[in-house]
Amino acid sequence: MTSGLWELVLKGVWVTIQLLVCSALLATAVSFVVGVARTHRLWIVRFLAGFYTEVFRGTSALVMIFWVFFVLPPAFGWQLVPLWAGTLALGLTYGAYGAEIVRGGLRAVDPAQKEGGIALSFTPWQRMRLILLPQAVPEMIPPFSNLLIELLKGTALVSVMGMGDLAFSGNLVRLALQESAEIYTYILLIYFVIAFALTRVMRGLEKKLKAGVGKAPAKKKTVLPEPVEIEAGAR
From 93-107, 139-153, 158-172, 203-217, the region with the lowest mean pLDDT: 203-217
Q: What is the pLDDT of residues 125-183, one digit of tens each?
A: 888 888 888 888 888 999 999 999 999 999 999 988 888 888 888 888 888 888 788 88
Asked whether residue 96 carries a pLDDT value surpassing 60, the answer given is yes
Instruction: Give the count of beta carbons closer than 10 Å to the beta carbon of residue 61.
Output: 20
* Band of pLDDT at residue 224, cut at 50, 70 and 90: low
pLDDT tens digits along 50-79? 999 999 999 889 999 989 888 887 777 777
What angle in degrees, to the nearest 10, is found between the helix axes of 3-37 and 82-108? 40
The pTM of this model reads: 0.83
- CA–CA dist 37, 34 (Å, integer): 5
Q: Which of 55, 99, 64 is nearest to 85 (CA)?
A: 64
Tell me the C-alpha to C-alpha distance, in Å, between residue 150 and each of 18, 20, 124, 131, 138.
16, 10, 33, 30, 20
